[in-house]
Structure 1
Amino acid sequence: MNSHSSDKKGILRRLRRIQGQVSGLERMVEDDSYCIDVLTQISAATAALQACALALLDDHLHCCVADAVTRGGDAAREKVDEASQAIARLVRS
């Protein structure tokens, strides 16, 4: 993540919350919690990770890609391709 991120603190907050969710999942498995409850919490953690990824992607598009497009040339094409590949990875996950 680049230092010019518009919401670095917010992203870090989200990741810490997700880390807490994953720790909770570990405890649930250790405690033999009901499978459906564990799956529900996995779904919540997955959704939280996806929301975090979308926030990072949004930041990347508004900062890195927009700056490169303003400069134009090969740098712009590379940044757009990079963003497109990241979007494809997110869609497949």
Structure 2
Amino acid sequence: MPHSAEEKKKVLARIRRIRGQCEGLERALEAGADCSPVLQQIAAIRGAVNGLMSEVLESHLREQFGHPAADSVDREARVAGMTGLIRSYLK
């Protein structure tokens, strides 16, 4: 999670844009929009969510690996945690 005020502000703004895109998609579906614009909107939402994930993941990486590990057990735990996050992201 972004911890600085500026990072938090950027992430929250991104989430608000994603919410707006989802609401637009909902309205389009309710109105019976054609498939092509609906698919384009879904792709845009997916791209926005991926961008959000990248930003939060990058922040987490900096936080976890920005300073040396206390010992090899701590380092291995951090690597295992990050590996799990990346695997879930790539699914």
Q: TM-score range by the shorter chain?
A: 0.7 to 0.9
Q: In the alignment, residue 15 of structure 2 is paired with which amino acid?
A: L
Structure 1: 5+ residue runs without aligned partners?
Answer: none
Tell me, yes or no, if the aligned pair for 1:6 and 1:59 is still in contact at 8 Å. no
* Matching residue's letter, 1:77: E
Cα root mean square deviation, aligned: 1.8
Give 2:21's aligned amino acid: Q
Q: Which residue of 2 aligns with 1:88?
A: 87
1:62 alignment partner in structure 2: 62
- Which is bigger in relative contact order (C-alpha 8 A, separation at least 6)? 2
Cα distance in 2 for residues equivalent to 1:11 and 1:5: 10
Q: Give structure 2 stretches of 5+ with no counterpart.
A: none
Letter in 2 for 1:41: Q
Note if contact 1:5-1:59 (Cα within 8 Å) is conserved in structure 2.
no
Taking every aligned residue pair, what percent have the same amino acid on both sides?
30
Change (3 A) 1:82 1:4: farther
* Cross-structure match for 1:40: 40
